[in-house]
Chain A
Amino acid sequence: MGKSILVVDDTRSMRKMVAAVLEQAGYEVAEAGDGVDALDIAKGRRFDLVVTDHNMPRMDGVTLVRELRGIPDYDHVALIVLSTEVDPAVKQKGREAGATGWMAKPFDPQRMLDIVAKFI
């Protein structure tokens, strides 16, 4: 059964790269350039996994994770933050907000696929 992933990042090149890596592995990928748009899309359909950047205008990744956890459908969906952020306090917030994992940028495509496979 095909699994679907929502990729969120306000940097177009990064978003496209992540999407391409996932698509090539056979996942169905939807994109959002913004946390607010991502929330809209996520409310409209249930994805099997969400990968999101943290540093974004309007709504950052950690807030997006928190919002998604508030939606019953997303209670047990893996929400992974992919970010260059190194501040431990922020990562802690991510954890507390309900992030399933926190991955560092730049990412190794194969490793990302391994992690996605583990949690999807």
Chain B
Amino acid sequence: MFQGPGALADPKAYRAIFFEETQDHLSDVEAILLKIEPDTPCLPELNAIFRAIHSIKGSASMLGCGDIAQMAHLQENLLDILRKQERALESGDVQAMLKAGDVMRGQAEKHRGAIEHAPDAVPAEALLREQLERPRADAKDGASGPVRRRFAVKLGPLEEPIDEGELDMMIAGLAEMGRLTTPAIDNRAGGVITFEVELEGTADDLQSVLALLVAPQLVAIEKIDRDAAPARTLSPAPNAVSEHDEFFVDPDEFRRKREAVLQADDDDGPDDESLVAPVRAASAAIAIEDDLPIAPRETGHIRVATEKIDLLVNLVGELVITEAMLARSVTESGLADLSRHTRNLQEAVMAIRMLPISHAFSRFPRLVHELSARLGKDVDLEFEGESTELDRGLIEKISDPLTHLVRNAVDHGLETPGIRVAEGKSPTGILRLAARQRGGNIVIEVSDDGRGLDRERILEHALLRGMSISPDAPDEDVWDLIFEPGFSTAESVTDLSGRGVGMDVVRRNIKALGGTIELRSEPGQGTSVTVSVPLTLAIIEAMIVSIGGAVYVLPIATVVETLSLQGGDIHTLPDHGDTLRVRETYLPVIHLARIFPPANRSDHVGSIAVIVEADGRQAALVVDEVVGQQQVVVKSLEANFRKVPGLSGATVMGDGSVALILDVAHIVKK
């Protein structure tokens, strides 16, 4: 049954599509598996899983991925048992299929060349086989609970055609009540309609429903025994197909008939008596089985290679620059239109790059499922604001830090059900991921209702490691210690969190995105971590300044105000360096010309102070001039060069020259 690849000219192109499709199918299947519950009806979901696995099997065997086809085949067998309801769904089934999905994913990655060795299929196969052996229910009539019975129905021979609309409605109605299979519909005078249906109820119930359509004497209903021989079809079955995989009409006859018809010039050819019996069908597609429509990937969405989107973003960036260029030399009202169009185009393009954060959250149900099983905890994972959108580049970068926070919450934050009950809490712990937009940022909160941070232990640990902190320090300062490198108060270094990836890395990653992270906690009540990152990284509103003849860029988001400096405004204090009085406060002064020495010292005038704020700190940056304000496209310095302290990137100005973007947070810290 599983043949090797046929004589396809270039399987490589199909393999790429196959790998993409397979990963999609496997993700869909996993999502469904995590949703369904044993002992609750879920036939549409099982059918959806079946279809996905079936697709994978077909393509896999074509492309020489026999191992994947084999795993899929076993799953199909299990699914068949469950779909035919020969046995109720058990958690063992879900586990076995989850494991099988993991193995198939790994096998696909190996075929793709992304990893060297596929995961061992034997344990997963063993699980599946085990589930295949599970005793099946032998439900007889009169068993406890509602009983489903199977009937073969024949309507006809009809005296006249049934109204199509009514027929559709009845079929749809029956399909909803139960399972309707193998319909054959010849809705003409003298025609016959047959199908099988499985539902709760008696033959009499069914008879009365069908009698609404046709005269009762034309209704024939037969009960089918579930385990008996395959259902008898009541319609005459010439040339019945049995075990063989394939059938074909006789090609010579077929051609002969066709020639005959094509040569005849009449529009109405003689009634066709060929082996192929044309049958008029019901106009609407009949629901043959309960179907869970997995959102068809083709409608309303297209796949676009990310390189194309990146190119678009670059082009829009160039447009922004060109517009700025024009604005310098031409002052016309026509520019207002150009501005508007550019802005709209830019928003539209940035929107293409935006994805709902549910993409970042998608791995968590499975992760929490496994972690809680492994750690003996009971966790309810809640999401809020999953439709909040953010740039896709950001989604990738934020996944790892969030994963670490989720692991921490399940591992350290939430207690086992026993302890929780002892504390008067419900045995199920709540882990909540909430996302919302605020200003130009997306704010993500990971919170749990667990034991909270242990202030005493953190202080102890800190003092042990020689960190200086007062025992009376406010909570925020104590929580901040957790972000220090190497800080981990885990008693047992479980393989989950004790991997050397600490909160310091999480904070560093968030900062690299231009974001912030904050901890809040109440002992015994829970912990909440709030991460805030800017929504889009690529285009920012900027203030252009000059320092010693060179042009630099400041993100407007960091600018509070600008002041002109006069002679004695800046005071030099003995231990604190230069300060500037702004209304009621004294701010530290930073002479940018000292950090970024210009080629010609004499060009430095230092007549403007730009008041900036970052990380809750304010400072006055001294520059020569404020050249203007415009949107700039942020370009990476690190792609070809490296990270330069004090700079967060570069941009291209209207004249094509490069201007460097200041890392205000870093500068203000110094």
Q: Which residues from chain A sit less than 8 Å from chain B, CB to CB?
A: 10-14, 16-17, 20-21, 24, 33-36, 55, 57-60, 63, 66-67, 69-70, 75-76, 78, 84, 86, 88-93, 95-110, 115, 118-119
Of the four ranges (under 10, 10 to 19, 20 to 34, 35 or more), the interface on chain B belongs to: 35 or more
Q: Is the CB–CB distance between A98 and B279 below 8 Å?
A: yes
The answer on a CB contact under 8 Å between A33 and B21 is: no
Question: Are B14 and A119 in touch, CB under 8 angstroms?
Answer: no
Q: Which residues of B (246-265) have their CB < 8 Å from a CB of A?
A: 246-249, 251, 254-255, 257-258, 261-262
C-alpha spacing A24/B325, complex, angstroms? 52
Chain A: CB-nearest residue to B185:
A66
- Among candidates A92, A107, A118, residue contacting B241 with C-beta atoms closer than 8 Å: A92
Are the CB atoms of A55 and B184 closer together than 8 Å? no
Say whether B59 contacts A76, CB under 8 Å.
no
Please name the residue on chain B nearest to A104 by beta carbon: B245
CB distance from B556 to the nearest CB of A (A): 45
Determine if B248 and A101 form an interchain contact, defined as CB atoms under 8 angstroms apart.
yes
* Chain B, interface SS category: loop
CB of B7 within 8 A of CB of A96, answer no
Nearest CB on A from B197, distance (A): 14
> B239 and A95: CB pair below 8 A?
yes
Any A CB within 8 A of the CB of B57: yes
B285 touches A59 (CB 8 A): yes
Contacts A13-B17, A105-B62 given; indicate if A60 touches B279 (C-beta within 8 A).
no
A36: chain B residues within 8 A (beta carbon): 285
Q: With A16-B14, A96-B235 given, is the CB distance from A106 to B249 under 8 Å?
A: no
In the complex, how many angstroms separate the beta carbon of A106 from the nearest chain B beta carbon?
4
CA distance A72 to B231 in the complex (A): 33
Q: Which of B14, B61, B261, B279 contacts A96 (CB 8 A)?
A: B279
A-B contact count (CB 8 A): 154
Cα distance A13–B64 when bound, in Å?
A: 13
Known: A14-B62, A57-B293. 10 other contacts (CB 8 A): A11-B21, A13-B17, A16-B14, A59-B285, A88-B242, A97-B184, A97-B279, A97-B281, A101-B248, A107-B6
Which residues of chain A are near B249, meaning CB under 8 Å?
Answer: 100-101
Contact (Cβ within 8 A) A63 B245: no
Q: Are A88 and B241 in contact (CB under 8 A)?
A: yes
Give B contacts to A, CB under 8 Å.
Answer: 2-3, 6-10, 13-15, 17-18, 21, 51, 54-55, 57-59, 61-63, 181-184, 230-231, 233, 235, 237, 239-243, 245-249, 251, 254-255, 257-258, 261-262, 269, 272, 276-281, 285-286, 288, 291, 293-294, 296, 298
| Chain A residues positioned under 8 Å from B242 (CB to CB) | 88
* Residues of B contacting A90 in the complex (Cβ-Cβ under 8 angstroms): 182
A67 to B279, CA, bound (A): 8
Q: Of B251, B261, B269, B276, which is within 8 A of A98 by CB?
A: B276
> A13's contact among B18, B237, B240, by CB below 8 Å, is which?
B18
User: B11 CB to closest chain A CB, in angstroms?
Assistant: 8
Taking a contact as CB atoms under 8 Å apart, the answer to whether A109 and B7 are in contact is yes
Q: Is the CB of A96 within 8 A of B277?
A: yes
Kindly identify which residue among A33, A59, A76, A106 contacts B6, using a CB–CB cutoff of 8 Å.
A106
Kindly state the separation between the CA atoms of A39 and B392 in the bound complex, as whole angstroms.
37
Contact A11 B285 (CB under 8 A): no
With A13-B59, A35-B285, A115-B248 known as contacts, the answer to whether A70 contacts B277 (CB < 8 A) is no
Looking at the complex, which one of B17, B183, B272, B285 makes contact with A16 (CB distance below 8 Å)?
A: B17
B277 CB contacts on chain A under 8 angstroms: 96, 98
Which 3 A/B pairs are nearest by Cβ-Cβ distance? A101-B248, A66-B281, A13-B18
**Contact between B258 and A76 (Cβ–Cβ < 8 Å)?**
yes
CA distance A100 to B272 in the complex (A): 14
Assess the A103–B279 pair: CB atoms within 8 A. no
Contact partners of A91 in chain B: CB under 8 A: 241, 247
CA distance A99 to B239 in the complex (A): 13
Provide the residues of chain B in CB contact with A84, threshold 8 Å: 54, 57-58
Residue of A nearest to B293 (CB): A57
Chain B residues within an 8 Å CB radius of A33: 296, 298
- When distances are taken between beta carbons in the complex, the residues of chain A under 8 Å from B293 are 57-58
| Neighbouring A residues of B241 by C-beta, 8 Å | 88, 91-92, 95, 102
Q: Tell me whether B296 and A57 are in contact (CB under 8 A).
A: yes
State the Cβ distance, B171 to closest chain A Cβ, in Å. 12
Distance in angstroms from B486 CB to nearest chain A CB is: 48
Q: Judging by beta carbons under 8 Å apart, are A57 and B182 in contact?
A: no
Q: Name the B residues within 8 Å of A12 (CB-CB).
A: 17, 21
Q: Give the docked Cα–Cα distance between A92 and B183 (Å).
A: 11
Q: How far is the CB of A78 from chain B (nearest CB, A)?
A: 7
- Evaluate contact between A95 and B247: CB separation under 8 angstroms: yes
Q: A119 to B230: give the CA distance in the assembly, Å.
A: 32
Least distance between B229 CB and chain A CB atoms (Å): 12
Is B269's CB under 8 angstroms from A75's CB?
yes
